[in-house]
Amino acid sequence: MVTIAACQELHQDWLRNLAGVTRGRTFSTHESEWAWLPARRQLVLLYPQRISPAGVRPGLAEGMRLGAQSVSVWMNNAASYAPLEAFGFRRGPQPLWMSAPVSAPQQYSAAAAALDPDPPEVTGPDADELAAGRTHPRTAWHLTTRGDGKLTGRAWVYDPTAADQPSNTPDPITGRPGIPAAPARKPRKGSLAGIFGLSVGPSSRRSGYGTALLSRAAAVAAAAGADRLAINAAPGGAELCAARGFELIGRGQYLFLDLR
């Protein structure tokens, strides 16, 4: 049984990972943990159990010192966001946490999606974050879809438990340079992989690219040894995920503050 707490813990780990690979960092203030994502000039408050002005105020001050242009807050739906309004935060779209066994999305075609660790069209902060797919042992894999040779969509698959493998273990999906991909790892019961950053360009939607990304992501997660998937779906994407075998686990909260 996948819980919303497990999904949120996985998301926190993904954000910490992004901070690390892009030369950012994490730090704590009173009852608050923050991740600094320098590529995006973004500070993120990671799932506080309680909003404390004594923790928020020094965190924002540090963010401004670092040059943050925006601040995001991810929260459990049960936590009160009211104190953040005093700092100028506004509510964004409500995240929907959904989960599925890795077998469910694989029933659909993944032909349009492929592993693509360094797509030339990806620039700016997204390009800096491609470093997440170059660590060893590998914990993240970058996927793209293409139509008529053009990039139409992207997604990340993240499985932090893959880092528990010995450092000389070949990547189960891509292999190491010059070495064929290793056999898929044995599924670890209760192991949860995340799909993050899934997006399809507006002109390419309803053409099967989102389905292909979900299906390929499920195959990659299965090969890495995960037996369940989690996705943080925006309201507009929840219908697609539900049609491809994902079930709603719970709802979260997302808030943001523009510092520009």
Give the per-residue pLDDT at 172. Answer: 59
Q: What is the pLDDT of residues 99-119, one digit of tens each?
A: 999 999 999 999 999 999 999
Give the per-residue pLDDT at 254. Answer: 97
Mean pLDDT to the nearest integer, 40-57: 95
Whether the Cβ atoms of residue 230 and residue 192 lie closer than 8 Å to each other:
yes
Whether the Cβ atoms of residue 77 and residue 45 lie closer than 8 Å to each other:
no
Its pTM stands at 0.91
Q: What is the pLDDT of residues 142-185, one digit of tens each?
A: 999 999 989 999 999 999 987 665 555 556 566 554 333 444 55
Angle at 233 between CA 105 and CA 68, to 5 degrees: 135
Question: 63-67, 218-222, 233-237: which range is least confident on average?
Answer: 233-237
Give the per-residue pLDDT at 137. Answer: 84
Q: Which residues contact 155 (CB under 8 A, 6 or more apart)?
A: 113, 142, 143, 195, 196, 197, 198, 199, 213, 214, 217
Query: Does residue 72 have a pLDDT over 90?
Result: yes
The whole-angstrom separation of Cα 146 and Cα 109 is 14
The whole-angstrom separation of Cα 164 and Cα 147 is 36
Backbone angles phi, psi at 157, to 5 degrees: -115, 130
Give the per-residue pLDDT at 185. Answer: 57
Mean pLDDT to the nearest integer, 20-29: 97
